[in-house]
Amino acid sequence: MEFDKNSLLKLGKLSKIKIDDDKLSSLSKDLGSILNFIDRLQSLDTEEVDPTSNSLDQPLVMRDDIAIDKNSANEILENAPEKELDFFSVPKVIE
């Protein structure tokens, strides 16, 4: 089973991953194989079953909202590919 190539290009757009033409064929084959594999679950009857999103049986823990002086803008910006003043810099968004 191959994954439809147009759907794959759409998925690439949704995922913000450019899919090169020369990768399209092998990727649609791989994704087809994976989908075929995960489709096995469809035969299971889960009508009466509740979903599990997390296995920890514990109420959400709250903590006090205390200000800490860590990870300053300067520190964080050290890893930014591009910055201006105290800000991350990106290509122009509005013409």
Partner 1 sequence: MKIDLNLLDARDLLAKKEISSHELTKTYLDNIKKGEELNCYNTVATEHALAEAEKSDLRRKEGNHKSPFDGIPIGIKDLFCTNNIRTTASSRILSNFVPTYESTVTQNCIDAGLINLGKLNCDEFAMGSTNKTSYFGSVINPWQSSQSDAKLVPGGSSGGSAAAVAADLCVASLGTDTGGSIRQPASLTGTVGLKPTYGRVSRWGIVAFASSLDQAGPITKTVEDAAVLLEIISGHDEKDSTSSIKDKENFFQNLNNSVKGIKIGIPKEFESDDLPVSTQKAWDECKQLLQSNGAEIVDISLPHTMDALPTYYIIAPAEASSNLARYDGVKYGIREEGKNLIEMYEETRSIGFGDEVKRRILIGTYVLSSGYYDAYYIKAQKVRSLIKKDFNEAFQNVDAILTPSTPSTAFAIENEPDDPVQTYLNDIFTVPVNLAGIPAISIPFANDENNLPIGLQIITNSFEEQKLLNIAKNIQDTINYSHKPNKWWTND
Binding residues for partner 1, per CB under 8 A?
A: 8, 11-12, 14-20, 27, 30-31, 33-42, 44, 46, 49-58, 60-61, 63, 70-71, 75-76, 78-82, 88, 90-93
Token pair for 76: 């964080």
Q: How far is the CB of 12 from partner 1 (least distance, A)?
A: 7
Q: How far is the CB of 30 from partner 1 (least distance, A)?
A: 5
Q: How far is the CB of 86 from partner 1 (least distance, A)?
A: 14
Contact 19, 54 (CB under 8 A): no
Cα 74 to chain centroid distance, Å, stands at 27
Rounded distance between C-alpha atoms, residue 11 and residue 4, angstroms? 11
